[in-house]
Amino acid sequence: MAIPKAEELGVNVAREPSLMTGAIPKKEWMDNPVEFKEGNFCYPAKQSIVEYHKFPNPREWSPTDDDWKLPDGWEDIILNGLKERLDKFRSLKVFMDICVRCGACADKCHFFLGTGDPKNMPVLRAELLRSVYRNDFTTAGKLLGKLAGGRPMTVAVLKEWFMYSYQCTECRRCSVFCPYGIDTAEVTIILRELLHLVGVGTNWILEPAANSNRTGNHMGLQPHTLKDNAGYLMDDIEDITGIRINPSWNRKGAEVLFITPSADVFAEPGIYTFMGYMLLFEHIGLDYTLSTYASEGGNFGLFTNNELMKKLNAKMYAEAKRLGVKWILGGECGHMWRVLHQYMDTMNGPADFLEVPKSPITNTVFENAASTKMVHISEFTADLIKNNKLKLDPMRNAHRTPTWHDSCNPARAMGLLDEPRYILDHVVPKWYEMPENTIREKTFCCGSGTGLNTGEIMELRMRSGLPRANAVKHVEEKFGVNTLSCVCAIDRATLTALVDYWTPNVSVTGLSELVGNALIMDGEKERETDLRFAPLEGMEG
Amino acid sequence: MRVLYPFVAVLALILVAFLGGKVTGLQYMLGVVLPYLAFGVFIVGFCNRVMQWSKSPVPFRIPTTCGQGKSLPWIKQDRLDCPNNKLEVVGRMILEIFAFRSLFRNTRAEVHDGPKLVYGSSKSLWLFAILFHYAFLVIVLRHLRLFTEPIPFFVPLLEMGDGMMQMGVPRLYATDIVFLAAIAFLFLRRVSLRHIRYISLPADYFPLILIFAIGVTGLLMRYYYRVDITAIKQLTAGLASFSPILPAGIHPIFFIHVTLVCVLMAYFPFSKLMHLGGVFLSPTRNMSNNSRSVRHINPWNDPAIKPHSYAAYEDEFREFMKDAEIPVEKE
Amino acid sequence: MYDKGKIVPGLIIFVGLMLFAIFNNAGQKPQPPKLEKPEGYKECVLPVEEMKQSHMVLLNEWRDEVIREGKREQVKVGGKMFDKSLQRGCMHCHTSKKKFCDVCHEFASVYPYCWDCHIAPQRDMADQEAK
């Protein structure tokens, strides 16, 4: 789908009449139905995929159709589903009841900032559900109906849910500013769960989820392909450093199981991050194994429903148990770490067959992971640097002037902020922060998380990513930043598209890529290029 | 319409109370029966709503981390914005409840040509919200003088402080002015900021107008009509001692004030005003960010949900794995 | 998890605070204030109802007139002359602050700043000493 050029879209965002630019919509939001047209929705899940998941109502359909072929009695299915979830999640119940519509969240959402669409204000996104909740679950709503802000569940409402629960990346930025901590991610998660009950879901999420289930990774790579691909990357490492690394797969008795998003083995620029991990482990002589069965760090279940999240995540502990490792090390990924940090132990623990993680190199015990027994690669690396266990030459990254992108989930669902910064301090000569309101807990999403990095909504993604890109542009112009570094696999994919569009001179790197580049390996040859085969500074000739 | 209906509703309440205040039989209804009823609805309704919330579990540990979490010992944890234990959570909650910490972060975004997004500091909502809530609190506490006999020591102290400016007779309370100004600000903000106006429901205007009317009738009673305070106290303290009496000659404005307050109390548990209770129960604020070091239990966690098993996986891919020299369980 | 162990005590505290006045008053019936009326005087400067409602306004006006404008002329009501003065006017008839002013003021928790400058009349002192 063709999208406008950046210059044109830039003018549109700043000038088109929207709630963001000063225009006031003529119709009240309840009287303004959504309109699906090519480019503003993610393609629905294929029938075969829905069948694979054994989800209800598999069929071929399109959001542009008037008739979505919903099952008989779908309204009751939704309302019963809502009731069930109100009883399961206090967050939902409380968040439905206590919003005062103060509007503090309104201009905090990157989707609202980029589109100016009123229903992308977090408060209104939640009102889409809250209006139905009020109508059917509260005294005031039952008595007063619309006057109390209630409205019945209709097809138009359902369509609205589909549109706007897939224009939210569950990034939790709004929740930082809400005086009651209302988290739109909780609302979006529930909306998506409810939609799946009547067979409304997107292919870009359900197909990777099916792949993850069957092959272990969302790309659907079979075990030999996975190993082969990693092998090609090891060839590249050998070309660049002269060192041959042979990572082990599915090896029993290793000390550590390493799990990272599968995109790191397959897609640029994640592959360079993967090379960075491998160099790091080789450098310190870590006794680790990779797994083909648990070869996906990411969890498309988080974007679908609780049950699927648990099912996909369960592979990690199952594989750790089968291989008899002591603990698990996790690669760079945002939502993966939301699941690992906030859900994994609860869903699939206790991991009593593992040991409290202890770095075999520094003997540091990771008390903060004492129960889940899974450590973030940045925590692991920062500890190595602090204990002087890495030989680093930051000048190898002298051709890069990075800025740091805090990924939503590590920032707002984990509190991982300073470990990556510490690493960055040691692997590059100089880096710069983006403006204060766009970093750390106030960081902006890449705009395409939670299964939205699909090509058919590219304009939407460039709009929702604009707040991030705009901050990058600011430091590009001010400090000459040419690199956007992060610890998230989705970011590595989506930010690449984003910066290509808005700030084409900036490239995206994983943090471990910069680490790998800076590492002085024992017995290596003189490096002339970085891990991307780009010449190092002073080696351009 | 969204402003008009609540406005008309409050006017209607005032009218009913005014007429009722003139009729002796209804005075007893409005001055004695209604307050008991409304207070009962408030207490029972409030507790019931909170208990309803408490019946749903918090299945996952989902704090919104707003600072550095506890990890390696040499990395400085932000203990208030990313608490790791109960004490730190208490600190975070105190800041949230008494200082509106999250609202204090507020910014305002604007889009300019370029496109260029800028985020300015925006503390006015925080300021007026704080002023409103604290003025309300002081006013409620000051009213204890009418319900208590003997009057507890802190009430006169509050009154002294509040009336420190010694302006006029009866002495003008600073909170009265702050209270009305803050509500006026919150109301004007709601109707004038375009995105706030767009999201506002009748249920957002109604409490504002109602509380404003309560404030105005209160002020009229004290500064303009100067109603017979001893007569009123006989009624109100009588209520609190379960020996209500209705002295003759109480001005109708009092019954308007009381009726509006009763409506507010009875409305409270069924409305967004329940944020008073809800803010304590918000899982993104009242939980420690220690989910990796202490296992959180989900009562409805379904042990029947199992992963696609390794055995089934190996069965499907065994030959490929063997060819690629990946170890397998069954040869 | 349900946190009942925190929510229930929290609600009990909440209800306890809300019922503060009831606990505070427990077992007592508030008695309406009983004023000691002046002996031998039937009329005040204004009718009783007006005095009840507006004595503070009148006193304020008198203060301004006397102190700031120097208008000390007496007020004539019903053939009697009254001094525009708290101590020599009001307290001439209402001889006890304690048994007149304070009765209502304390009942309603009103603390006028008259007595920041004025000294309470002698009878109260004498009463106190007699105890």
Predicted confidence at residue C122, as pLDDT, reads 67
Summary mean pLDDT of chain A: 95
Q: Cβ contacts (< 8 Å) between A470 and chain B: which residues?
A: 115-117
Predicted confidence at residue A296, as pLDDT, reads 94
Residues A20 and A163 in one domain: yes
Q: Is residue A468 in a domain?
A: yes
Q: Which of A183, A201, A219 is the last residue of a domain?
A: A201
User: Does residue A98 sit at the B interface (CB-CB below 8 Å)?
Assistant: yes
Residues A190 and A271 in one domain: no
Task: Please determine, for the modelled complex, whether the ipTM score is greater than 0.90.
Answer: yes
Confidence check: pLDDT of A394 > 60:
yes
Q: Is residue A534 in a domain?
A: no
In B, minimum Cα distance to C52 occurs at B228
- Note every long-range contact of A387-391, with CB atoms under 8 Å and residues 24 or more positions apart, other chains counting: A387/A361, A387/A362, A389/A284, A389/A361, A389/A362, A390/A280, A390/A283, A390/A284, A390/A426, A390/A515, A390/A519, A391/A283, A391/A519, A391/A520
Confidence check: pLDDT of A489 > 90:
yes
Bridge partners of residue A483, in order along the sequence: A402, A507
> What digits encode the pLDDT tens for the residues A148-183?
899 999 999 999 999 999 999 999 999 999 999 999
What pLDDT band is residue A541 in, cutting at 50, 70 and 90? low
Q: Percent of chain B, pLDDT > 70?
A: 100
Q: Is residue A313 in a domain?
A: yes
Domains along chain B with CATH numbers: 4-300 (1.20.950.20), 304-331 (no CATH)
Residues A396 and A478 in one domain: yes
Q: Within the 41-70 window of chain B, which residues sit less than 8 Å (CB to CB) from chain C?
A: 42-43, 46-47, 50-51, 53-55, 57-58
Rounded to the nearest 10 degrees, what angle do helices A489-502 and A466-479 cross at? 70
> What digits encode the pLDDT tens for the residues C99-130?
898 899 999 998 888 888 887 776 666 666 66
Average pLDDT over residues A469-477: 97
Average pLDDT over residues B210-219: 97
Largest Cα–Cα separation, chain A: 79
Which chains neighbour A (Cβ–Cβ under 8 Å, 3 or more pairs)?
B
Q: Cβ contacts (< 8 Å) between B54 and chain C: which residues?
A: 2-4, 7-8
Residues A362 and A461 in one domain: yes
Q: Is residue A22 in a domain?
A: yes
Residues A32 and A156 in one domain: yes
Lowest mean pLDDT among A98-107, B1-10, B88-97, C79-88: C79-88
Instruction: Give the domain range for residue A447.
Output: 208-518
Contact A454/A204 with Cβ under 8 angstroms? yes
The count of domains in chain A is: 2
Predicted confidence at residue C98, as pLDDT, reads 86
Q: Cβ contacts (< 8 Å) between B48 and chain C: which residues?
A: none
Residues A223 and A189 in one domain: no
Name the one residue in this structure whose structure tokens are 């470990």.
A419
Residues A154 and A223 in one domain: no
Summary mean pLDDT of chain C: 86
Confidence check: pLDDT of C85 > 90:
no
Q: Cβ contacts (< 8 Å) between B62 and chain A: which residues?
A: 91, 183, 186, 342, 413
Q: Cβ contacts (< 8 Å) between B170 and chain C: which residues?
A: 56, 110
Q: Which of A166, A201, A236 is the last residue of a domain?
A: A201
Q: Percent of chain B, pLDDT > 90?
A: 89
Residues A189 and A242 in one domain: no
Average pLDDT over residues A236-259: 97
Select the highest-mean-pLDDT range: A381-385, B4-8, C26-30. Answer: A381-385
Predicted confidence at residue A493, as pLDDT, reads 94
- What's the whole-model pTM score? 0.94
Average pLDDT over residues B212-223: 95
| Alpha helix stretches (DSSP H) within A36-183 | 47-52, 74-88, 90-98, 110-115, 122-137, 139-144, 155-165, 173-177
Confidence check: pLDDT of A2 > 90:
no
Predicted confidence at residue A298, as pLDDT, reads 94
The Cα of B231 is separated from the nearest Cα of chain C by a number of Å equal to 8
Q: Is residue A162 in a domain?
A: yes
The Cα of B213 is separated from the nearest Cα of chain A by a number of Å equal to 20
Residues A190 and A212 in one domain: no
User: Does residue B201 sit at the A interface (CB-CB below 8 Å)?
Assistant: yes
> What digits encode the pLDDT tens for the residues B239-290?
999 999 999 889 999 999 999 999 999 999 999 999 999 999 999 999 999 9
- What residues have CB less than 8 Å from C130, skipping those under 6 apart? none
Predicted confidence at residue A157, as pLDDT, reads 97
Confidence check: pLDDT of C31 > 90:
no
| B272 with A138: Cβ contact below 8 A | no
Average pLDDT over residues A29-34: 92
Q: Percent of chain A, pLDDT > 70?
A: 99
Predicted confidence at residue C89, as pLDDT, reads 85
Predicted confidence at residue C27, as pLDDT, reads 80
Q: CA geometry: angle at A40 spanning A35 and A41, to 5°? A: 95
What pLDDT band is residue A313 in, cutting at 50, 70 and 90? very high
Predicted confidence at residue B23, as pLDDT, reads 85
> What digits encode the pLDDT tens for the residues A420-471?
999 999 999 999 999 999 999 999 999 999 999 999 999 999 999 999 999 9
Lowest mean pLDDT among A81-90, A115-124, B92-101, C54-63: C54-63
Lowest mean pLDDT among A297-306, B109-118, B308-317, C97-106: C97-106
Residues A435 and A365 in one domain: yes
> What digits encode the pLDDT tens for the residues B159-203?
999 988 888 888 899 999 999 999 999 999 999 999 999 999 999
Residues A47 and A93 in one domain: yes
Predicted confidence at residue C130, as pLDDT, reads 67
Q: Within the 208-267 window of chain B, which residues sit less than 8 Å (CB to CB) from chain A?
A: none
Rounded-to-integer distance, Cα A537 and Cα A535, Å: 7
Rounded-to-integer distance, Cα B307 and Cα B305, Å: 7
What pLDDT band is residue A334 in, cutting at 50, 70 and 90? very high
Contact B169/C54 with Cβ under 8 angstroms? no
The Cα of A51 is separated from the nearest Cα of chain B by a number of Å equal to 16
Contact B115/A470 with Cβ under 8 angstroms? yes
Contact A468/A116 with Cβ under 8 angstroms? no
Query: Three-state SS across A12-77?
Result: HHHHCCCCCCCCCCCCCHHHCCCCCCCCCCCCECCHHHHHHCCCCCCCCCCCCCCCCCCCCCHHHH
Helix/strand/coil percentages in chain B, nearest 5: 60, 5, 35
Predicted confidence at residue C124, as pLDDT, reads 67
Q: Is residue A541 in a domain?
A: no
